[in-house]
């Protein structure tokens, strides 16, 4: 059985916080709103006070705990590596247990857990959301990212595909003998919003002769539910993915979405039960491509006379796992790309799973800073490795009146590779 840790299980980690305040330099939410309750140190202190029975989950405690992107930036910059993101997620689960899921959290659990609710949801929703919900199946994490308040806030959204990626492709694409076999964990973003990224993924692996399995019954990784504190939902999704991804033997499970990667590696990896295995096998696509020697292949491609200026945005869910070099290496070795590094490439885009649903204003503030850095870099394209970031980056650029486009590195890679 997949089982998430309780807040109680984080007692030791909480005690590791020496209250130094270093996280004030790293927490994007604190950057947007300079109050101690918004920073990791404050959230850890509140969690600690809850554990010690010093305070109850009163409104202000819940508000502060809701003000977290679960981005892990604080943990990466913390001298003692206190996992505030995990602590906050555990605290939210405890809130859900004690107080019941919040209205929004309830929506999360309902959508992911009980498919039939979808229709009634679509009925009560506005026109736009009904339109989107029609195209989204019941258990997609994207439903959590686009509830009503989100859609009404003047946001630019990507086009939703009529035919989800996993419905367009076969479940198994045979590669060359002697090459690895991988499972492609698509995640909701690629499946429903950016199927072209999925196509690009397949093209790259075909180029290398890798056998790809794309299980149709894979589900959302569950990260939005982690964010909402919906324990049972996360655990159920983990079980479903365990079944889907272990049906056939594979060497690796690949992701092209930073959040899904963190979901599989960190969330499942930390679970009590078999799901932890999934985490061990999971690789980010660019880590895999580099290991397979793709950079050398790319170096042999003829160079291009009019390269396009591209910069890279580090998705938090990769950066905090130390994956920063591999996506850049692939990007830099593309013949049509002139790479420029932007200032603060490693700061959060401001999406944070369900965060931007609750806190669109702060999310916009964080995004606006990012848009400024993108513009200052002089790049025409900002490439990244996460559909969620792409969506948020494009929204921020649009709000700032910029002309840049946000793309997935795989799309650029696909452009560069010869047709086969």
Partner 1 sequence: MFDSATLRLERANANEREADFVLKETQMIDTRIIRILADIVGKENVSTEKADRLCYSYDATQQKFLPDVVVHPQTAAEISLIMKMANAERIPVFPRGAGSGFTGGSLPTRGGIVLATERMNQIIEIDTENLVATVEPGVVTEQFQQAVEKVDLFYPPDPASLKFSTLGGNVAECAGGPRCVKYGVTKDFIIGLEIVTPQGDIITTGGPTMKGVVGYDLTKLICGSEGTLAIITRIIIKLLPLPEAKQTMLVLFDSIDGAAQAVSNIIGHRIIPATLEFMDGRTLDCVRQATDLQVPEAAQAVLIIEVDGDKEFLAKQAQKIADIIQPLGVVETRIARTAAESEALWQIRRSVSASLRKVNPDKFNEDICVPRSKVPEMIRKVDAISEKYGISIVNFGHAGDGNIHVNVMIDKKVAGEAEKAEKAIEEVFKGALELGGTMSGEHGVGIAKAPYIPLEITEKAADYMKAIKKALDPNNILNPGKIFLDQ
Ligand X SMILES: Cc1cc2nc3c(=O)[nH]c(=O)nc-3n(C[C@H](O)[C@H](O)[C@H](O)COP(=O)(O)OP(=O)(O)OC[C@H]3O[C@@H](n4cnc5c(N)ncnc54)[C@H](O)[C@@H]3O)c2cc1C
Whole-angstrom distance, CA of residue 287 vs CA of residue 329: 10
| Window contacting partner 1 (CB under 8 A); options: 34-42, 105-113, 232-240, 402-410 | 34-42
Which of residues 74 and 412 has its CB atom nearest to ligand X in the complex? 74
b/e code 330-347 from CB counts within 10 Å (16+ = b) = bbebbeebbbeebeebbb
* Residue tagged 């980056």 (tokens): 393
Q: In which order are the strands placed within the sheet that holds 282-284? A: 172-173, 211-213, 181-185, 252-255, 282-284
Which of residues 75 and 330 has its CB atom nearest to ligand SF4 in the complex? 75
Considering only residues 8 through 67, tell me which ones interact with ligand X, judged by CB under 6 A.
Answer: 20-21
Q: Do 253 and 282 form a contact (C-beta atoms < 8 A)? A: yes
**14 interacts with, out of ligand X, partner 1, ligand SF4, none, CB within 5 to 8 A per kind:** none
Q: Work out whether 74 is an interface residue with ligand SF4 (CB under 6 A).
A: yes
> Other CB atoms closer than 10 Å to residue 356's CB: what's the count?
26
What is the β-pairing status of strands 211-213 and 172-173?
A: antiparallel
Whole-angstrom distance, CA of residue 256 vs CA of residue 388: 11
The C-alpha torsion from 372 through 394 and 92 to 21, rounded to 10°, is -10
**60 interacts with, out of ligand X, partner 1, ligand SF4, none, CB within 5 to 8 A per kind:** partner 1
- Which listed residue (47, 48, 66, 84) binds ligand SF4 by CB under 6 A? 84
Considering only residues 43 through 62, tell me which ones interact with partner 1, judged by CB under 8 A.
Answer: 45-46, 49, 54-55, 58, 60-61
Q: Work out whether 340 is an interface residue with ligand X (CB under 6 A).
A: no
Q: In which order are the strands placed within the sheet that holds 337-339? A: 337-339, 308-312, 381-384, 405-408
Tokens of 404: 């840049």
- Which listed residue (61, 68, 95, 337) binds ligand SF4 by CB under 6 A? 68
* Total binding residues toward ligand X, as defined by CB under 6 A: 2
Beta bridge partners, 213, equal 172, 183
Q: Phi and psi of 17, rounded to 5°?
A: -75, 120
DSSP assignment letter at 343: T
Rounded least distance, CB 220 to ligand SF4, Å? 20
Helix 117-124 with 103-113: angle, nearest 10 deg:
130
| Window contacting ligand SF4 (CB under 6 A); options: 74-82, 232-240, 272-280, 356-364 | 74-82
Helix 387-399 with 360-377: angle, nearest 10 deg:
80
Q: Work out whether 3 is an interface residue with partner 1 (CB under 8 A).
A: no
Rounded least distance, CB 30 to ligand X, Å? 14
Q: Do 28 and 350 form a contact (C-beta atoms < 8 A)? A: yes
Q: Work out whether 153 is an interface residue with ligand X (CB under 6 A).
A: no
- Which listed residue (4, 14, 32, 37) binds partner 1 by CB under 8 A? 37
Which of residues 18 and 376 has its CB atom nearest to ligand X in the complex? 18
- Which listed residue (2, 7, 44, 230) binds ligand SF4 by CB under 6 A? 44
Tokens of 210: 């890798």
| Window contacting partner 1 (CB under 8 A); options: 37-45, 180-188, 262-270, 352-360 | 37-45
Rounded least distance, CB 4 to partner 1, Å? 25
Residues in touch with partner 1 (CB under 8 A): 18-25, 34-37, 42, 45-46, 49, 54-55, 58, 60-61, 64, 79-81
The site for ligand SF4 (CB under 6 A) is made up of 17-23, 26-29, 40-41, 43-44, 68-74, 78, 80, 82, 84-85, 88
List residues binding ligand X (CB under 6 A): 20-21
């Amino acid at each position: 059985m997949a089982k998430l840790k309780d807040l109680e299980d984080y007692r030791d980690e909480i005690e590791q916080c020496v209250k130094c305040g270093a996280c004030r330099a790293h927490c994007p939410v604190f950057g947007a709103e300079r109050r101690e309750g918004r920073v990791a140190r404050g959230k850890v202190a509140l969690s600690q006070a809850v554990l010690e029975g010093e305070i109850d989950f009163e409104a202000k405690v819940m508000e502060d705990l809701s003000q977290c992107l679960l981005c892990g930036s604080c943990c990466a910059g913390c001298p003692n590596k206190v996992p505030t993101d995990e602590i906050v997620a555990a605290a939210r689960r405890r809130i859900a247990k004690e107080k019941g899921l919040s209205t929004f959290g309830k929506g999360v659990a309902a959508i992911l857990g009980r498919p039939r609710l979808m229709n009634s949801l679509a009925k009560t929703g506005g026109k736009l959301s009904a339109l989107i919900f029609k195209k989204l199946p019941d258990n997609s994490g994207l439903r959590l990212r686009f509830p009503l308040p989100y859609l009404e806030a003047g946001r630019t959204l990507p086009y939703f595909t009529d035919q989800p990626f996993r419905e367009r492709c076969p479940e198994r694409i045979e590669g060359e003998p002697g090459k690895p076999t991988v499972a492609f964990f698509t995640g909701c973003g690629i499946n429903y919003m950016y199927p072209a990224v999925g196509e690009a993924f397949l093209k790259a692996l075909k180029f290398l002769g890798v056998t790809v399995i794309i299980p149709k019954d894979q589900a959302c990784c569950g990260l939005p539910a982690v964010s909402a504190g919906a324990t049972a939902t996360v655990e159920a999704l983990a079980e479903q993915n365990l079944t889907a991804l272990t049906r056939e033997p594979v060497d690796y499970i690949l992701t092209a979405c930073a959040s899904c990667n963190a979901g599989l590696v960190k969330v499942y990896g930390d679970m009590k039960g078999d799901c932890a295995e999934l985490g061990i096998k999971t690789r980010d696509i660019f880590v895999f491509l580099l290991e397979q020697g793709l950079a050398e292949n790319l170096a042999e491609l003829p160079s291009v006379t009019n390269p396009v200026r591209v910069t890279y945005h580090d998705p938090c869910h990769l950066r905090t796992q130390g994956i920063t070099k591999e996506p850049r290496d692939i990007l830099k070795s593309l013949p049509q790309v002139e790479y420029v590094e932007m200032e603060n490439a490693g700061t959060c885009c401001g999406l944070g799973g369900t965060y931007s649903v609750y806190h669109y204003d702060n999310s916009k503030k964080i995004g606006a800073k990012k848009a400024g850095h993108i513009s200052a870099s002089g790049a025409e394209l900002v490439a990244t490795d996460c559909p969620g970031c792409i969506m948020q980056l494009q929204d921020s650029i649009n709000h700032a009146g910029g002309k840049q486009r946000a793309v997935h590195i795989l799309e650029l890679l696909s452009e560069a590779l010869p047709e086969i």
